Amino acid sequence: MRKRTYAMRYVAGQPAERILPPGPFRAAGHALPPGEPLPGDERLRILVWNIFKQQRADWLSVLQNFGKGAHLMLLQEAQSSPELINFATSHYLAADQVPAIILPQHHSGVMTLAAAHPVYCCPLREREPILRLAKSALVTVYPLPDGRLLMVINIHAVNFSIGVDVYSKQLGPIGDQISHHAGPVIMAGDFNTWSRPRMNALYRFAREMSLREVRFMDDHRRRAFGRPLDFVFYRGLNVSEASVLVTRASDHNPLLVEFSPGKPERR
């Protein structure tokens, strides 16, 4: 029996809340209270990192130091340990996680930490065809100070599959979300792009969604077979800075990108 997809929301001082998928797509933010925007009129800083289930030392210091001042943290393979939940609720207004793997003690999956409450939340899961383990993705939407709504996609792509059918299938629902959203978009995470067909499928998807790729001058991203695995794509924003930290705190290196809002899009 297929497990039900949901997100767990962690907020300081409140019990963990289960968030179910929103059902048939409706315009993100429609009929919802606008909420407080992400802070900062001049910049928007995000950290993207496959945190390797917090299995190595110093993962917390990387979040605290390299991620200092980040308005959004997009983590993959995040395990809902007390240490991570305490960090998330101490430094951010909301943390949403999509459990992909249910472990004996803690869930593991993508987790988005945000300095604002989301006005829309859509958890997604896709099962690995060979290992039968799931990978997760999360679509959240946040108000910006200029009145626009920012869609954020945090994804850990399926890894072990023959061909790219399942890989492309996982991107399909994300494309549905993006195509119905008129505002700026950030899509980032661990895309497991270890083959040329996977790279081609990802770049084709990005072109179809009018997403641009963030380029890193000193590119120390984790690679497999010579190809980077972690990416940040965007639209409706401008990139101010982009860097990669080399660390032993995970089997991936974290990405830090700073955006400026850019010109509001006409509607």
What pLDDT digit, counting tens, does each position of 209-227 carry?
999 999 999 999 999 999 9
- Mean pLDDT of all residues in 229-234: 98
pTM: 0.93
| Alpha-carbon separation of residue 36 from 68, 146, 260 (angstroms) | 21, 12, 19
Alpha-carbon dihedral sign for residues 212, 214, 219, 221: negative
- Strands 185-190 and 149-156: what pairing? parallel
User: Residue 264: its pLDDT value, please?
Assistant: 46
* Domain assignments of the chain as residue spans, ordered by start: 40-259
Which CATH number applies to 40-259? Answer: 3.60.10.10
